[in-house]
Amino acid sequence: MASVAKLLKTAEKYGVTVVHHGNGHYQLTGKLLVNYYPESKKQTAYVAGTTGGHHGVDEFRAVMMALKPPVKALDKPKAKRKNNVRLVRWKMWQAGFRHCYVCKQQFSDFEETTLEHVIPLDKGGLDHPNNRALSHALCNQLRANNMPELEHHEGPPVNSVALLPMLVQAVPPSKMVEKLLPPELQGVNKETPW
């Protein structure tokens, strides 16, 4: 019981919500959803939508898992993407996914969409419907395997369209994606070959 009290206190301090689901199962909701079993022998915690759990997790680490990008367990292989990506995208489109996960702008048609993993496969995310979203090709490439939506910043939410010039300077787009940039940003950052 001492660990549960410590969990609740730590979660409150960092603004994470804790819900007890019985049998020693706690869900921590911050920027990510974490399933945590503090009373179990192994003290397992895992981020929903990822390939595996971590053992020996204390209360502080469980709370931090709900706030920061996941760290893939070294012994877990990267999830493989399924071959039917176009069909998956089409089903999502038919189900009403009409806004880019990254920039929140509405798509003009289906061909603009690419498959985005909310928790990147490189970070232990699963290729599963609960971990999929649609995004523009440029937004998908600029986000890469990062999770900028988890970065802490003061002020209003940041829209990636407003950050596009800065992102292009920092991460030069591939030749394939450069043609999607607005004309004023094409050819930026030529000193870095791609």
What pLDDT does 185 receive?
A: 57
pLDDT tens across 106-152, in order?
999 999 999 999 888 888 888 888 889 999 999 998 888 888 877 75
Q: Is residue 65 a contact partner of residue 10, using CB atoms and an 8 Å limit?
A: no
Same domain, 144 and 95: yes
* pLDDT for 18 beyond 80: yes
* 165, part of any domain: yes
Measured CA to CA, the distance from residue 194 to residue 189 in angstroms comes to: 10
Same domain, 36 and 99: no
The residue range of the domain holding 131 is 85-185
Same domain, 57 and 92: no
This prediction's pTM: 0.61
Structurally, the chain folds into a number of domains equal to 2
CATH of the domain at 153: 1.10.30
